[in-house]
Structure 1
Amino acid sequence: MDIVIRPAESDDYAAIAELSVLAYVDDGQLAEGVGGHYAARLRDVAGRAKDASLLVAVDVDGTVLGSVAICLPGSPLAEINRPGELEFRMLAVHPDAQGRGVGRALATACVDRARELGSRAVVICTRDEVGKPAQAMYRSMGFTRIPDRDWNPIANVQLLAWELAL
């Protein structure tokens, strides 16, 4: 694969902000009144970097293709993880780079990081109605549903919880 996964640097933040919003718009996740508020959160990469470890997927020419935030328990960005679990959020791949394995490479890097930290599991959330491709990818990686942690951050947005036991 011609993709490198590495820690994000401040020089990457503008590209991460742009690709995150583009990816979320492309798959319908910024619809239903979520657009303004959540788009602003996606654009605040510097703020996200204060509360999580950011990884980027970079093409051989240096182009940032995707990113993900790794959240430890107790992190301000953590939503569903418990002690001993690593959570990742805001996994986004630029629409032009989708289908190249970028999302899987980022998710795998998160799982690898969880193993390095001695975590017992990795947890994530996906949108119910628009997250079908992501759900299929996570299932193929061995993630299983944990419905008791499903939740609604706002009206009309259902988040489904997933876990990969390590």
Structure 2
Amino acid sequence: MDIVIRPAAPEEYETLGEITARAYLQDGLLDFGESDAYLGELKDVAKRAAAAQVLVAVADGALVGGVTFVPSGGPMADIAGPAEAEIRMLAVDREARGRGAGESLVRACVDRARATEGCVRVVLSTQRSMRSAHRIYERMGFVRTPERDWNPLPQLDGITLLTYRLTL
């Protein structure tokens, strides 16, 4: 499968939003299902694209996944500090998994981070159950940073996001 990574076009935002939301829902990553407030964030690709870089993976002419790359801080950063880029909302359509789209998207983010002046690290948050994503990150040299793990919903116990970093 030939995979092309490129910036998302506005006419692809809705499709990418659906792929991202469906991936999180199918994998059981949203605690409240269809009513989860984060679902709206996952679907709102236009909002992400206005504040960060949204990349898509296209395989055999079809959009199969995407990721949000936050070059340095800004409203889309969750955990990035000074001189750090952040990877967010990585998702690949279930039918296209296992063929390199996820790794290609992460690699494109790392390449962008290396091209960002002053950037020395790439950071990301992930859920415990995202084991296939963890394997990609670890294979690419990311290391766990348990001291940065955090809870995006402090009012709910038990939701701790794991963090990783890659030093460039």
TM-score band by shorter chain is over 0.9
What's the secondary structure of 1:28's corresponding residue?
coil
Q: Give the Å deviation of 1:74.
A: 2.7
Aligned pairs, how many? 164
Query: What TM-score do you get using the length of structure 2 for normalisation?
Result: 0.92
When you count strand as a share of all residues, which structure comes out higher?
Answer: 1
Q: How does 1:2-21 map to 2 (within 5 A)?
A: 2-21=2-21
CA RMSD of aligned residues (A): 1.4
Counterpart CA distance in 2 for 1:108 and 1:17 is 21
Following the alignment from structure 1 to structure 2, what is the Cα–Cα distance between the partners of residues 109 and 137?
Answer: 13
Q: Report the equivalent of 1:52.
A: 52
Percent identity of paired positions between Structure 1 and Structure 2: 45
Report deviation, 1:82: 1.0
Query: Alpha-carbon deviations, 1:1-31, whole Å to 9, x = none?
Result: 5010001110110110110011111221013
- Aligned 1:1-166 pairs, distance under 5 A: 1-32=1-32, 35-61=35-61, 63-118=62-117, 119-128=119-128, 130-154=129-153, 155=156, 156-166=158-168
Alpha-carbon offset, residue 59 of structure 1: 1.5
Query: Which amino acid counterpart does residue 38 of structure 2 have in structure 1?
Result: Y
Unaligned runs of 5+ in 2: none
CA deviations 1:68-117 (Å, max 9, x no partner) are: 00113331110111111110100010111111110000000000000111
Distance 1:103 1:34, change over 3 A: same
- Specify whether residues 34 and 148 from structure 1 end up closer, same or farther in structure 2 by C-alpha distance, changes over 3 A only: farther
Say which SS state the counterpart of residue 74 (structure 1) adopts: coil
